[in-house]
Amino acid sequence: MPWTKIQADDSRGRVRFGGGERPERELSYREAIREALSQAIETDDRVFLIGEGIDDPGGVFGTTAGLRERFGAGRVMDSPIAENGMTGVAIGAAMTGMRPVFIHMRVDFLPMCMDQIINHAAKWSYMTGGRVKVPLTIRAVIGRGWGSAAQHSQSLQALFAHIPGLKVVMPASPYDAKGLLLGSIAGDGPTVVIEHRWLYDQKEGVPEGPYVIHAGKGAIRREGTDVTIAATSYMVYEALRAASELEGEGISAEVVDIRSVQPLDEGLIVGSVKKTGRLIVADTGWKVCGVSAEVAAVASEYAHDALKAPVKRICLPAAPTPASVSLEKAYYPGIEAIVRAAKGMV
């Protein structure tokens, strides 16, 4: 079991976020992912990558570029455009000794595989009384902008997070992208790793060797005392920008990077809310029945007495993604919405 030798970083936020003063070399988010995949293939014979066009020169936003040349088509495998069936193939391989990583250019293609993910991957351990595990990693890309419109820019983390038996992580930083991806590949169950297209060029210091971060741990990215902003993925950056602006106005915001949507780091969120007494949740997805609803519910259940104001949620409105740039602008909330919400609470 090669993974047991690999160091786990289960601290919450050991790493300074957003690069800067780290001694190690810097990597972009895309490079961190590519390095994680290479190291997984090198570390463990059971690991293989599969997905539509993952051996293209472009290599899924650069995250798989060159890997087929390096490891061969047996480990880095192009796939027919048959998402549900191929998810089943990956699951069948996973339950018989392999550790596949199924890579999707867009999360929007995953509704094609919901049967295999929900009814099979997520259920198998339980249905077999724990006798058969499905160590499957599914990488899915979310994103926004450039008129990608309704079928190429959704943010479907809540769909997966709803399902017991699935883990869902959303790395926001290069360090997390590498660690969470390796943690998922090393794990025993199915994990959906959701990456944001706008993060691929983010850079920060990333250790050269392999390390794993297990799902279930959030991270405090900035400490504060007046309001907690709990954010997912790209929204972490909007939250950090909002926190800087709020600081100028005398409001001290704490930014929690949710990192793991399922399991959710309830303790970290509750602890922060108990300290600040206020909660804003900023998610890349829809508001209704979304991740923000779950986070708000956690605060209400476990930190109710500490809350000095109603929870605010900064999410997408209940509409599919529009194409026109003017509508896109109206669709995506960001720093202004977060700042406004915070000012209204404090």
Partner 1 sequence: MRNDLSKDALKRLYAVMLTIRRFEERVVSLYPEQEMKCPVHLCIGQEAIAAGVCAHLGTEDYIFSTHRSHGHCIAKGMDLKPIAAELYGRSDGCSRGRGGSMHLADPEHGIPGTSAIVGGCIPLAVGAGLSSVMQGHARVSVAFFGDGAADEGTFHESLNFASLKKLPVVFVCEDNYYATNSPRSARQPDIPIAEKGRGYAIPGITVDGNDVLLVHQAAEEAVMRARSGGGPTLLEFTTYRWKAHVGPNSDIDEGCRPAGAHERWLKKCPLEMFQRYLLEHAAVSAEELERISVRVDREIDEAVVFGKNSPYPDASELTEYV
Enzyme catalytic residues: 152
- Calculate the CA 332 to chain-centre distance: 18
CB of 278 to partner 1, least distance (A): 33
Single residue of 48, 61, 160, 200 touching partner 1 by CB under 8 A: 48
For 283, the token pair is 């998610």
Pick the piece of the chain touching partner 1 (CB under 8 A) from 112-120, 269-277, 310-318, 332-340. 112-120
Binding test (CB under 8 A) with partner 1, winner from 10, 58, 69, 82? 82
Comparison of 66 and 263: residue with beta carbon closer to partner 1: 263
Q: How many residues bind partner 1 (CB under 8 A)?
A: 34
Q: Which residues within the stretch 131-150 sit at the binding site for partner 1 (CB under 8 A)?
A: 131-132
Inter-CA distances, 26 with 117, 191, 213, Å: 35, 26, 18
- Judged by CB under 8 A, does residue 2 bind partner 1? no
Task: Give whichever of 189 and 207 is closer to partner 1, judged by the CB atom.
Answer: 189
Distance between CA atoms of residues 84 and 226, nearest Å: 46
User: Could you check whether the bond before residue 164 is cis, i.e. omega within 30 degrees of 0?
Assistant: no
Question: How far apart are CB 77 and partner 1 at their closest, in Å?
Answer: 9
Q: Which stretch binds partner 1 (CB under 8 A): 2-10, 81-89, 145-153, 221-229?
A: 81-89
**Would you say 11 or 119 has its CB closer to partner 1?**
119
Q: Which is nearest to 33 in space by CA: 237, 256, 183, 163?
A: 183
Out of 54, 60, 91, 258, point to the residue binding partner 1 (CB under 8 A): 91
Q: Which is nearer to partner 1, 23 or 164 (CB)?
A: 164
Measure the CA–CA gap between 184 and 122, rounded to whole angstroms. 14
Contact between 84 and partner 1 per CB under 8 A: yes
CA angle 240, 242, 246 (to 5 degrees): 115
Residue choice 41, 49, 95, 298 for contact with partner 1 (CB under 8 A):
95
18 binds partner 1 (CB under 8 A): no
Q: Scan residues 151-190 and list those touching partner 1 (CB under 8 A).
A: 164-165
Per CB under 8 A, the list member of 28, 39, 63, 125 interacting with partner 1 is 125
CB of 88 to partner 1, least distance (A): 3
Q: Which two tokens stand for residue 285?
A: 């997805």
Q: Which residues bind partner 1 (CB under 8 A)?
A: 48, 74, 80, 82, 84-98, 115-116, 119-120, 124-132, 164-165
